[in-house]
Structure 1
Amino acid sequence: MRRFMGALLLAWLWSLTAAAQDILLTAATDSPGVRTFVHALEQQRRADQVRFLPVAELPAPGRMNPATRLILLDTAALDWRLAETAGPPALALRISRVQANQRLGRLPPPYLSMLWSDPPPARQLRLIRYLLPQARRIGVLYSEHSRFLLDELNQSARLLGLRINAQAWPDPRDNRPLQALLQDSDVVLGLDDPNLYNPRTVKNLLLSSYARQMPLIGPTAGFVKAGGLASTFSDQQDWLRVLDRLLDQAPAKWPRTHYPEHFGVVGNPQVARALGLEPIDPVAATKVLAEGEPTP
């Protein structure tokens, strides 16, 4: 009986070891934010081996164990994985659609699963409908790198009874396209396009919007803190929930592209007050938007 129980225990321990995954996260550098994320994933996946290595210390993708679960945390890691077709499949985080489109085009290669960092355009539009029900003309600035998002925006806007007023802004030093957009819009929806929304343009964008009492939605939670009105966003815990679910699946089942199902709403109370708007209740807004999310 003891031998039988011992054999069962050994078999159980072997099955746990065999099921454990080697999860490797990589980025250009081991920053405090990266370290926090890796530690949180370690706590969540205690049965697995979770480790971090900077891109510079990795071999070529084709020389890695194909069973490794790769998690790419920045564009440097993405560029490293794109260097070869051979190698383990990878989940790419903290990369926006504009950044990816410059490297991949519209569709990523089959060994990549892109988990977008920017909020879904349709979700942002529904946030506008919730916060600003009278707004119909949605101003959108775009560059040559974000032009590809316009078809999707127009389609989503039509379903909500909204109209996209798109304006190219090839040179952010030229203020005329921005002023033309503000003149013919009810609200501005910012795209996560670093060519347009960056530390050099933020002051001009916000001051120009304020001068016309124009709300600015998005493009990121950070921009809202700088002076935007509101945005949807997914935090570290939201992403950890997505990873936990995907890491339990075979890589062949990973989606080619994916927005996190879990998200929140961030608002800027001072901006809402300055625009004469009702205070934003992030919890209530999140609940309403979640009820309108498309079902899988």
Structure 2
Amino acid sequence: MQSRHGRALVLLLLLATAGGALSSPAQTVHVLAEPSPFKDVFVLSLAQDLPANLRVVDEPEVADVLVALGDAAFTRAMAQGKPLLGVHVSRALSEKAVQEGYRCAAIWAGVSLANQLQLVRTMMPLARRVGVVLGADSVWPAELVRGFRGPLKLELLPVKNARDLGDTLRENLNHLDAIVLPVDDALLGPDAAKLVLLTSYRQRRPVFGPDLTFVNAGSVASYYASGSDLVSEAVQRLRVFADTGEWGASAFVSRPSVVVNEHVASSFDMHYRDSGALQDALQKAGEAP
């Protein structure tokens, strides 16, 4: 008799626990972005990867949490006053939003300076002096470059605008082993990309970064945030927020992808000349992010 009572009590406790879990509705998420194939793929992938306590909805009005892709969508979303996660958002914009008291965080556009320096060290083990180009809207603050301590000696190359870029490179490339570029749409447009890469070839100094597009155009290699990287990071951020009610600090993606321009890497006689070999080398060295 006591055994049956004990089993009944356990069953009641289990039912009560299950009932409590079922009675807690999933938090809803809406993705704001300009219409594009990338948005469609991002929303579909996000919906598939979210845990059971989170689900994507079509209307922002009924959402508990907003996800905004890009600066324009992030700016619009701030006006709605809901918890907000920016994805591929400029660092300056997200930091301004936090300072103004918005309940938000962002996955910044680009990758960390530390990631890009990993590439230089791995592909050019003998490199010592590396120039870092920075404009007014670049993702890395100048203080980060000035305060860097490590096996590479960094030289800050401030550039006011795209017109000054060519002169800055021509004046400095000869005494540097390589150049690292940040994500900066205002500074590094298509015309600037052509200028940078042509100057690099003429003076035989390799350029690293800032992203996949530049590597396809002639940069040696770059870490970059792929679409799947951004989805994975967003899922992790949303999971933590659903569990704790806190976003944590804004940051770059924690595990970016890597790409190498094989032709350019070969022309500079780089240590690694394809993306797979470079990724393996980083992982074996314990340096992969």
TM-score normalized by the length of structure 2: 0.82
* Cα distance per residue 1:253-276 (max 9 Å; x no partner): 321212322222100001112223
CA contact (8 A) 1:218 1:230 kept: yes
CA contact (8 A) 1:38 1:51 kept: no
Alignment equivalent of 2:245, drawn from 234, 249, 252: 252
Q: Aligned residues, how many? A: 274
**Superposition map of 1:121-200 within 5 A:** 121-146=113-138, 149-156=141-148, 158=149, 160-174=150-164, 175-200=166-191
1:89 maps onto 2:83 in alignment: yes
Alignment equivalent of 2:234, drawn from 236, 240, 243: 243
Question: How much identity, in percent, do the aligned residues show?
Answer: 27
**Superposition map of 1:1-296 within 5 A:** 12=18, 15-16=21-22, 18-27=24-33, 29-45=34-50, 47=52, 48-52=54-58, 68-83=64-79, 87-97=81-91, 100=94, 104=96, 109=101, 111-146=103-138, 149-156=141-148, 158=149, 160-174=150-164, 175-250=166-241, 252-289=245-282, 291-292=286-287
Which stretch of structure 1 is more off in the superposition, 182-191 or 251-260?
251-260
Matches of 1:180 and 1:97 in 2, distance apart? 29
Matches of 1:155 and 1:132 in 2, distance apart? 22
CA contact (8 A) 2:130 2:152 kept: yes
Greater Rg over alpha carbons, structure: 2
Unpaired segments ≥5 residues, structure 2: 1-10
User: Quick one: structure 1 residues 9 and 237, their matched pair in 2 at CA, closer, same or farther if it must change by over 3 Å?
Assistant: farther
Matches of 1:78 and 1:281 in 2, distance apart? 36
- The two structures, once aligned, show a CA RMSD in angstroms of 3.1
Secondary structure in 2 matching 1:262: coil
In structure 2, the partner of 1:61 is none
Secondary structure in 1 matching 2:223: strand
Unpaired segments ≥5 residues, structure 1: 59-63
Moved over 6 A (4+): 8-11
CA contact (8 A) 2:139 2:184 kept: no
